[in-house]
Structure 1
């Protein structure tokens, strides 16, 4: 009974917060955890980065995988768009590998890593993408404030 009452209070608080935001002229979307938050405008950059890999050999991190404005090619990496998540992961990881390898080749005496280390990191990056928990962007409908979650 206590858990049901807590869940009801949480739902009520969320609805009241959402109602205040909407009455103030805001718009809503669902985030990755299912919580309500203001939706970004269509002209602002994506708030979500689906890049799962955090390694940065030589200080070169994998590019962000953000949402493009094109619904047919929703994944964007360094200005290039892709139709599917895995292609975006591959590009982001390959871009990271290329930067790492350039640095390893150009500064062989100054860096403590080799191109083979960059290759290993590239495989780790792609493995992280294959096992990523989030591979899609949250979606919602704004028609009359109806929201649909794609599970």
Structure 2
């Protein structure tokens, strides 16, 4: 009985590993002004557009990583514009350059 349960669970795990996209974040930049991290760059599961960033898919990693950095920049600037940040717009811009350089 235990062997059968184990065998079924092993088969299900194998099938899911093939069907579900990997969720390893390709974005390695760790800077996070105001606690705002760069958007994750994930595997879309689509061979034609394999990179996924917050609802959008991309053909190549470079474009996906740039979008991730751009989204971080926008969120950073939103925080500055709300006057809730203890840093300036120039700091957000410098962080974006660092993020793009890390890509």
For the criterion TM > 0.5, the same-fold answer is yes
- Structure 2, gaps ≥5 residues long: 1-5
Is residue 94 of structure 1 aligned with residue 70 of structure 2? yes
Deviation digits for residues 87-140 of structure 1, max 9, x if unmatched?
A: 001000000000000110111xx42111110000001011111xxxxxxxxxxx
Q: 1:121 aligns with which of 92, 95, 103?
A: 95
Who is 1:67 aligned against?
43
Query: Which structure dedicates a bigger proportion of its chain to helix?
Result: 2
Q: Kindly provide the CA deviation profile for residues 17-55 of structure 1, in whole angstroms up to 9, marking residues without a partner as x.
A: xxx98xx42439xxxxxxxxxx6252x453311111011
In structure 2, C-alpha distance between the alignment counterparts of 1:76 and 1:99, rounded to whole Å? 18
RMSD of equivalent CA atoms: 2.3
Question: What whole-Å deviation, never above 9, does each CA across 1:43-81 have from its counterpart, x for those lacking one?
Answer: x45331111101110111001100002110000000100
Structure 2 distance, partners of 1:100, 1:64, is: 16
Kindly name which structure, 1 or 2, has the bigger radius of gyration based on alpha carbons: 1
TM-score, scaled to structure 2: 0.82
- What is the aligned length? 97
Runs of 4+ displaced beyond 6 Å:
none
TM-score scaled by length of structure 1: 0.57
